[in-house]
Amino acid sequence: MPGRKSRQILKAAIAALRPRGGPFDVDIEGEVLESACDFLRFLPSVTRYAFPLGLRLVEYGGPLFGGGWRRFTSMDVESAGRYLVGWESATGPRAMLYQGLRAVVLFIWYQHPQTLRALEVDWQGRADELVPLRARLLAEAAAAEGSVAAEAEPGGLSRSQPEE
Protein backbone atom coordinates (compact mmCIF):
# COMPACT_ATOMS: atom_id res chain seq x y z
CA MET A 1 0.00 0.00 0.00
CA PRO A 2 1.30 3.46 -0.84
CA GLY A 3 1.99 5.88 1.98
CA ARG A 4 -0.14 8.87 2.92
CA LYS A 5 1.68 11.33 0.62
CA SER A 6 1.60 8.92 -2.34
CA ARG A 7 -2.14 8.47 -1.80
CA GLN A 8 -2.64 12.26 -1.83
CA ILE A 9 -0.74 12.59 -5.11
CA LEU A 10 -2.61 9.65 -6.62
CA LYS A 11 -5.93 11.15 -5.52
CA ALA A 12 -5.04 14.45 -7.22
CA ALA A 13 -3.98 12.56 -10.37
CA ILE A 14 -7.29 10.69 -10.45
CA ALA A 15 -9.18 13.98 -10.16
CA ALA A 16 -7.11 15.48 -13.00
CA LEU A 17 -7.18 12.46 -15.36
CA ARG A 18 -10.73 11.16 -14.92
CA PRO A 19 -13.26 11.69 -17.70
CA ARG A 20 -15.81 14.43 -17.14
CA GLY A 21 -19.31 15.31 -18.34
CA GLY A 22 -22.39 13.31 -19.27
CA PRO A 23 -22.31 9.71 -18.10
CA PHE A 24 -18.93 10.23 -16.43
CA ASP A 25 -20.31 12.45 -13.68
CA VAL A 26 -20.30 9.67 -11.11
CA ASP A 27 -18.70 10.07 -7.71
CA ILE A 28 -16.30 7.11 -7.59
CA GLU A 29 -12.92 8.79 -7.12
CA GLY A 30 -12.47 7.29 -3.64
CA GLU A 31 -13.18 3.77 -4.89
CA VAL A 32 -10.87 4.29 -7.86
CA LEU A 33 -8.14 5.40 -5.43
CA GLU A 34 -8.58 2.27 -3.31
CA SER A 35 -8.56 0.02 -6.39
CA ALA A 36 -5.43 1.74 -7.73
CA CYS A 37 -3.67 1.27 -4.38
CA ASP A 38 -4.66 -2.41 -4.38
CA PHE A 39 -3.41 -2.78 -7.97
CA LEU A 40 0.00 -1.36 -7.10
CA ARG A 41 0.69 -4.32 -4.81
CA PHE A 42 0.84 -6.57 -7.87
CA LEU A 43 3.43 -4.58 -9.81
CA PRO A 44 6.96 -5.99 -10.18
CA SER A 45 9.19 -5.11 -7.23
CA VAL A 46 11.25 -2.45 -8.99
CA THR A 47 8.15 -0.71 -10.32
CA ARG A 48 6.34 -0.98 -7.00
CA TYR A 49 9.21 0.74 -5.18
CA ALA A 50 9.93 3.30 -7.93
CA PHE A 51 6.29 4.37 -8.38
CA PRO A 52 6.17 6.50 -5.19
CA LEU A 53 9.36 8.26 -6.37
CA GLY A 54 7.67 8.97 -9.68
CA LEU A 55 4.65 10.36 -7.85
CA ARG A 56 7.01 12.71 -5.99
CA LEU A 57 8.33 13.86 -9.37
CA VAL A 58 4.75 14.67 -10.37
CA GLU A 59 4.20 16.46 -7.04
CA TYR A 60 7.33 18.62 -6.98
CA GLY A 61 8.16 18.81 -10.72
CA GLY A 62 5.90 21.77 -11.47
CA PRO A 63 8.70 24.33 -11.81
CA LEU A 64 10.67 22.00 -14.08
CA PHE A 65 7.83 20.69 -16.26
CA GLY A 66 5.50 23.65 -16.79
CA GLY A 67 3.26 23.40 -13.74
CA GLY A 68 4.31 26.65 -12.10
CA TRP A 69 5.59 27.02 -8.57
CA ARG A 70 2.79 25.10 -6.86
CA ARG A 71 2.84 21.49 -5.79
CA PHE A 72 0.64 19.16 -7.84
CA THR A 73 -1.68 18.41 -4.93
CA SER A 74 -2.28 22.14 -4.35
CA MET A 75 -3.29 22.83 -7.98
CA ASP A 76 -6.94 23.12 -8.91
CA VAL A 77 -8.28 20.31 -11.11
CA GLU A 78 -8.01 22.30 -14.36
CA SER A 79 -4.41 23.37 -13.69
CA ALA A 80 -3.44 19.84 -12.67
CA GLY A 81 -5.01 18.49 -15.86
CA ARG A 82 -3.09 21.01 -18.01
CA TYR A 83 0.11 20.15 -16.14
CA LEU A 84 -0.34 16.42 -16.80
CA VAL A 85 -1.26 17.01 -20.46
CA GLY A 86 2.22 18.52 -20.79
CA TRP A 87 3.60 15.14 -19.78
CA GLU A 88 2.02 13.50 -22.83
CA SER A 89 4.80 14.77 -25.07
CA ALA A 90 7.56 13.75 -22.64
CA THR A 91 10.10 11.06 -23.42
CA GLY A 92 11.93 8.45 -21.37
CA PRO A 93 11.01 7.59 -17.79
CA ARG A 94 8.76 10.66 -17.44
CA ALA A 95 6.64 9.49 -20.37
CA MET A 96 6.46 5.96 -18.97
CA LEU A 97 5.36 7.32 -15.60
CA TYR A 98 2.62 9.44 -17.18
CA GLN A 99 1.38 6.64 -19.44
CA GLY A 100 1.36 4.14 -16.58
CA LEU A 101 -0.44 6.51 -14.23
CA ARG A 102 -2.99 7.39 -16.89
CA ALA A 103 -3.54 3.75 -17.84
CA VAL A 104 -4.14 2.66 -14.24
CA VAL A 105 -6.57 5.51 -13.56
CA LEU A 106 -8.58 5.14 -16.76
CA PHE A 107 -8.65 1.35 -16.73
CA ILE A 108 -10.02 1.29 -13.19
CA TRP A 109 -12.42 4.17 -13.95
CA TYR A 110 -13.92 2.52 -17.03
CA GLN A 111 -14.26 -0.89 -15.34
CA HIS A 112 -16.09 0.45 -12.30
CA PRO A 113 -19.68 -0.88 -12.11
CA GLN A 114 -21.19 2.63 -11.80
CA THR A 115 -19.35 3.80 -14.93
CA LEU A 116 -20.43 0.70 -16.84
CA ARG A 117 -24.06 1.30 -15.79
CA ALA A 118 -23.84 4.97 -16.78
CA LEU A 119 -22.50 3.93 -20.19
CA GLU A 120 -25.19 1.24 -20.45
CA VAL A 121 -22.61 -1.53 -20.84
CA ASP A 122 -24.00 -4.94 -19.93
CA TRP A 123 -21.16 -7.46 -20.17
CA GLN A 124 -23.25 -10.35 -18.82
CA GLY A 125 -26.10 -9.64 -21.23
CA ARG A 126 -23.65 -9.50 -24.12
CA ALA A 127 -22.09 -12.80 -23.06
CA ASP A 128 -25.54 -14.39 -22.74
CA GLU A 129 -26.29 -13.26 -26.30
CA LEU A 130 -22.98 -14.12 -27.97
CA VAL A 131 -22.00 -17.44 -26.35
CA PRO A 132 -24.92 -19.40 -27.93
CA LEU A 133 -24.25 -17.70 -31.27
CA ARG A 134 -20.59 -18.69 -31.14
CA ALA A 135 -21.50 -22.27 -30.18
CA ARG A 136 -23.89 -22.49 -33.15
CA LEU A 137 -21.29 -21.10 -35.57
CA LEU A 138 -18.64 -23.52 -34.31
CA ALA A 139 -21.04 -26.45 -34.64
CA GLU A 140 -21.90 -25.42 -38.21
CA ALA A 141 -18.22 -25.06 -39.08
CA ALA A 142 -17.44 -28.49 -37.62
CA ALA A 143 -20.32 -30.05 -39.54
CA ALA A 144 -19.22 -28.40 -42.79
CA GLU A 145 -15.62 -29.52 -42.23
CA GLY A 146 -16.77 -33.08 -41.59
CA SER A 147 -18.76 -33.25 -44.84
CA VAL A 148 -15.88 -31.75 -46.85
CA ALA A 149 -13.45 -34.28 -45.34
CA ALA A 150 -15.75 -37.21 -46.19
CA GLU A 151 -16.01 -36.07 -49.81
CA ALA A 152 -12.25 -35.65 -50.14
CA GLU A 153 -11.34 -39.15 -48.96
CA PRO A 154 -10.90 -41.80 -51.71
CA GLY A 155 -13.70 -44.34 -51.63
CA GLY A 156 -15.81 -42.11 -49.39
CA LEU A 157 -14.03 -43.22 -46.22
CA SER A 158 -13.66 -40.67 -43.51
CA ARG A 159 -10.38 -40.25 -41.65
CA SER A 160 -11.75 -41.96 -38.58
CA GLN A 161 -12.62 -45.20 -40.41
CA PRO A 162 -9.73 -47.69 -40.70
CA GLU A 163 -8.82 -48.98 -44.13
CA GLU A 164 -8.81 -52.72 -44.67
> Quick count: other Cβ atoms within 10 Å of Cβ 82?
15
- Distances from the Cα of 69 to the Cα of 37, 72, 79, 83, angstroms: 28, 9, 12, 12
Domains of the chain, residue spans? 4-118, 123-156
> Quick count: other Cβ atoms within 10 Å of Cβ 104?
21
Cβ neighbors of 12 (< 8 A, separation 6 or more) are: 72, 73, 75, 80
Residue 12's closest CA among 42, 56, 63? 56
Predicted local distance difference test score (pLDDT) of residue 1: 63
Predicted local distance difference test score (pLDDT) of residue 64: 74
Phi, psi of 45 (to 5 degrees): -50, -50
Please state whether the predicted TM-score (pTM) of the whole model is above 0.85.
no
Cβ neighbors of 63 (< 8 A, separation 6 or more) are: 69
Predicted local distance difference test score (pLDDT) of residue 162: 54
Q: Which of the residues in the chain have pLDDT under 50?
A: none
Predicted local distance difference test score (pLDDT) of residue 155: 55
Could you report how far apart the first and last alpha carbons of the chain are, in Å?
A: 70
Q: What's 22's DSSP letter?
A: G
Predicted local distance difference test score (pLDDT) of residue 163: 54
Predicted local distance difference test score (pLDDT) of residue 77: 85
